[in-house]
Amino acid sequence: MKHIAIYVRVSTKEQTVENQTVRLVDFAKNNGYTFDLYEETESTRKTRPVKQSLMSKLRNHEYYAVAVYKLDRWARSSRELILDTQELIDKGIGFISISDNLDFTTASGKLQFAILAAFSEFERELIRERTVNSLQRKKAEGYIFSGRPRGAKDLKKRKTEGYFLREARKREMAQPKLVLSPNN
């Protein structure tokens, strides 16, 4: 029996992974896979510790494949998606997106992957263009943007002097020190 990883992700606490989980668990059971479930909640563009942990396990060949609900649940950009899935494919690890009906271990799956990644990037660019156009229109109409709300960190003066020294000390503390015994 093949063992796979199931990865589900949402961006905020208000969202739930339940719909993704139900579909992926059904998929695994219907195809005779055993599985481990990885849930990423409240993720950001740069911090997805659950995904990083899973990638480490995939690199060590602990799973036959990883299954996701949709491609956008795995990656936030087409570049990230392409790099991650190409790495997995090169290592012989399957990547399955059940909503997109894709299995990137086959030649047709690889072709579909390239086409979907291009459309995904196209859609993201359209959204960005619409947002920029909307902001430009509002600015032309005289709308004044206030930026992000002020928070506690904005009320006090931040330390600027000694930054490089503090960073150097942090790195020094993080590195293991070589200790020689007198017998050497």
What's the CA gap between 20 and 2, in Å, rounded?
21
Domain boundaries, the chain: 3-119
Amino acid 27: pLDDT:
94
Tokens standing for 108?
């047709």
Catalytic residue among 11, 43, 77, 99: 11
Single-letter amino acid, residue 56: S
Q: Sign of the CA dihedral 47, 50, 51, 53?
A: positive
Tokens standing for 63?
């799973």
Q: How many CA atoms lie within 13 A of 5 on its CB side?
A: 27
pTM exceeds cut of 0.95: no
Tokens standing for 19?
């719909």
Amino acid 65: pLDDT:
93
From first to last of the 184 residues of the chain, give the pLDDT tens digit.
Answer: 899 999 999 877 778 889 999 999 999 999 999 999 999 887 666 778 899 999 999 999 999 999 999 988 998 887 788 889 889 988 989 899 999 888 886 788 878 777 877 887 788 889 899 999 999 999 999 998 887 777 777 777 766 777 778 877 877 776 655 555 555 4
Nearest to 39 by CA among 23, 50, 28: 50
What's the CA gap between 66 and 6, in Å, rounded?
6
Residue identified by tokens 């995939």 is 58
Amino acid 55: pLDDT:
94
For the chain, counts of helices (H) and of strands (E): 7, 5
Amino acid 14: pLDDT:
79
- Catalytic residue at 120? no
Nearest to 84 by CA among 60, 49, 58, 63: 58
Amino acid 13: pLDDT:
78
SS3 for 81-131 is HHHHHHHHHHCCCEEEECCCCEECCCHHHHHHHHHHHHHHHHHHHHHHHHH
CATH fold of 3-119 reads Rossmann fold (3.40.50)
**Which residues are CB-neighbours of 138 under 8 A, at least 6 positions away?**
145
For 38, the enclosing helix (H) or strand (E) is strand 34-40
